[in-house]
Structure 1
């Protein structure tokens, strides 16, 4: 099956892809599709033609992205810069899908391609729901901590107006999950998100933290904020505090 990476559509291009009031002309939609097809190819994935409509829909709403709410508990500095931050994310409803492709990039591609359709009208309200950031990928490591396991859960936070009554997905693979409050330790990193870079960032944060007992060691999250066309795009690695 053809795929597009999770981050390909998380935030569409800032220079040319501006929000439009009127339906997009066929020529412009074709240009937009070609742009994202080229971006997808850099990740060794192909973009199916039926994603042209959802891409155009996301572009029209490109300027509005609702942040996932959280409370900052503490910030820790090293060399006068923030090394990591501890946050509390309140309980909330997320649209989630799990995929287990051979590569991390393939799993998030296939998962988010389905989520983007849900966001762009393939829901019980038949309307665009609006984008939230970050989109979060939950990953699992083997016991040795040397590689990622195939299954990756990709999660989209429902905008505030839909938290009480989430629109139902048309795709049976997508589940609406109520997540309990989540306390995480986060560290920003920039650039690509591959298995190699993720493992590197996990190792770096463990070095900063030492060995706290109340942090999960086999489950982590990767938060994506920007599109992959941005050379130094922002991401975060999240360590999860154990629930009391």
Structure 2
């Protein structure tokens, strides 16, 4: 399965439903699923029928997305534009899954497809939990720093109402983790997220920072915010400050 991500699910903005609108009928649901089969096929993926329900739910709720809480510590400009900024994310509970497919796009897609089902119904309370952004993809580089290692951790932040008592996942591959506070240096980039573009963005941010000993060099995060139907959609590369 490849690149059926959170961003893909919002591609049908014109077809999405407000909560006050009537539920989709069978014909509309079939049309929606057929659309995603086409999307999947362009990524060399077969979309399983079990994704029909979660796709409808995510499409209906695509306007209600809770931001992951954070505090901006500083912004750094270059040529009168923000080149990068530092943020602090508090400790919190995340639903995480690790996938190690041949391609980065495949790993994040397979991971998020499972998280989708957890978010929509396959949890201990059997209800839609709500979407948060960004979805994080934790990546690791080879010792040479020239390629991504296969394992990618895809993480979904539990909405505020579930932070104290997270619904348990039905899927044994999904784990609820209490992540410590995260201090990151973050730079926005636009477009697709592939191994090539990610490595390029990592190198660009290192050029801006210069020599910094307080940042991890083997672990990074890619934050996904927007719909891939937007040609210049927003993503971020995150460098992680070492804990004191």
Same fold (TM over 0.5): yes
Q: Structure 2-normalised TM-score?
A: 0.95
Structure 1 residues 46 and 32: alpha-carbon distance in aligned structure 2, compared to 1, 3 A threshold: same
SS of residue matched to 2:15: coil
CA distance in structure 2 between the partners assigned to 1:153 and 1:225 by the alignment: 17
User: What RMSD over aligned residues (CA atoms) do the two structures have, in Å?
Assistant: 1.4
CA distance in structure 1 between the partners assigned to 2:141 and 2:18 by the alignment: 39
SS of residue matched to 1:15: helix
Residue in 2 aligned with 1:115?
115
Which deviations, in whole Å up to 9, do the C-alpha atoms of 1:165-208 show, x marking residues without a partner? 00000001100000000000000000000000000000000000
SS of residue matched to 2:156: strand
**1:3-82 paired onto structure 2 within 5 Å:** 3-9=2-8, 11-20=10-19, 21-82=21-82
Structure 1 residues 208 and 3: alpha-carbon distance in aligned structure 2, compared to 1, 3 A threshold: closer
Residue in 2 aligned with 1:100?
100
Of 147-156 and 21-30, the range deviating more from structure 2: 21-30
Which residues of structure 1 form unaligned runs of 5+? none
| Runs of 4+ deviating beyond 4 Å | none
Q: Structure 1-normalised TM-score?
A: 0.95
SS of residue matched to 2:105: helix
CA contact (8 A) 1:8 1:40 kept: no
Which residues of structure 2 form unaligned runs of 5+? none
Residue in 1 aligned with 2:90?
90
SS of residue matched to 1:58: helix
Structure 1 residue 9 displacement after superposition: 4.4
Of 41-50 and 234-243, the range deviating more from structure 2: 41-50
Residue in 2 aligned with 1:177?
177
